Structures are given as structure tokens and as C-alpha cells.
Amino acid sequence: MSFIMSLPAEQGINLYVKAVEKDIERQAWEQWLVAYQNMTKENFISFNDYFKQLKQPQRVKDNRSDDEIIQDAESILKSMKRSDS
């Protein structure tokens, strides 16, 4: 750590960020190794693809219909109008 502190700020930050990225990649590798034990020819995924999927933001699926979403939004707006009064 003293080596990093002796570097110019930008280099030290870049080195630290790289170390964090490598640690995240190592953790993903360990997760993939566990998942690999259960993979078959049909569901095999390479580590690179697995890692790309991990890095993508997770989106929550909303199974409600458009009408249900609109009704929920309207009820929220109504409750907000009541609290303003």
C-alpha cells in the first residue's frame, strides 16, 4: 500500500481500480467454477459469457399488464393528492 501511496494520484487511483476489477473477476471465476460443475453440453456457458452477464445490470421483470400499471399509477397520484390537502 505504501507503494501505491508514493505514486502520483492518478496512477495510484488507476492501479487501485485495476486491483478491484481483478478481484471482482476472481470472484466471478470462483462462482463460474461452482456453476460449471452442474453444466452440461446443453447449458454450458463460457466464463467470458458468464462474466459479461454478471456485469450487465439486472432488470426486474414486471408481469403486470399496461392497465394494471396505469391503475397503480393513478392510485398513487390520488393518494398523493389526499396527503397534500
CA nearest 50: which of 35, 63, 60?
A: 35
* Spatial distance between the Cα atoms of 48 and 3, rounded to a whole number of angstroms: 32
Domain count for the chain: 1
In a domain, 6, yes or no: yes
Q: Which stretches of the chain are DSSP H helices?
A: 2-6, 9-36, 47-55, 66-84
In a domain, 83, yes or no: no
In a domain, 64, yes or no: no
Confidence of residue 83 (pLDDT cuts 50, 70, 90): low
pLDDT tens-digit profile of 23-72? 999 999 999 999 999 999 999 999 999 999 998 887 888 888 999 999 99
Confidence of residue 17 (pLDDT cuts 50, 70, 90): very high
Which range among 11-20, 53-62, 72-81 shows the weakest confidence by mean pLDDT? 53-62
Overall pTM > 0.85: no
In a domain, 2, yes or no: yes
